[in-house]
Amino acid sequence: MANLLTRRRTDPFSPLFGEWMDDLWNRTGLATMPRYADMPAVERALMDVVDKGDHFEIKVDMPGVKKEDIEVSIEGSRVAIRAETRSTKEEKEGDRVLHTERFAAMYARTFELPADVSEAGAEAHYEDGVLTLTLPKRAPTTSKKLTIN
């Protein structure tokens, strides 16, 4: 039996032939083709980097991610952030499943800061879908001029 639960959303092709394609797929008894509006948007994690003088403050938007699923690594001036999220949404009526959706996304950002950062004293805080990194700048190494005897 065909799924009787349908949703109407706008997509870029609806004005041209969206209704016609939906009707064609529904008549064949096949499930409606997924459309761009029905698919979750997986975008690059948006971020802000601010130089606070003695440290960098970085804010990265990662909505829907659990803090235990976030990995941050620092190597010199290079910072790598990686996270994965998965979720399932199910709507039931009695024992008959009418609608099920699954969502999975992976965020990954790697960037270079203008100065090396120190792992000692670095802090990471995640709240309300925003990861905040406080990365202290590494003290510059001073060169010593040697006198030749």
Of residues 77 and 37, more confidence is placed in 77
List where CATH 2.60.40.790 sits in the chain. Answer: 41-136
DSSP characters over 112-135: E-SS-B-STT-EEEEETTEEEEEE
Alpha carbon 49 to its chain's center:
17
Contacts of 92 (CB under 8 A, 6+ apart): 98
87 vs 103: CA distance, rounded Å: 5
86-105: b (≥16 Cβ within 10 Å) or e = eeeeeeeeeeeeeeeeeeeb
Q: 38-55 pLDDT, tens per residue?
A: 444 445 778 999 999 999
Contacts of 33 (CB under 8 A, 6+ apart): 21, 25
Output the 3-class SS for 27-42: HHCCCCCCCHHHCCCC
Q: 73-117 pLDDT, tens per residue?
A: 999 999 999 888 877 666 666 667 777 777 777 888 889 999 999
**H-helix or E-strand spanning residue 80:** strand 78-93
What's the pLDDT at 15? Answer: 52
One of 3.40.50.1820, 2.60.40.790, 1.10.580.10, 3.40.640.10 is the CATH number of 41-136, namely 2.60.40.790
Q: Which residue has the tokens 């010199």?
A: 76
Q: Which two tokens stand for residue 98?
A: 């009418």
**H-helix or E-strand spanning residue 83:** strand 78-93
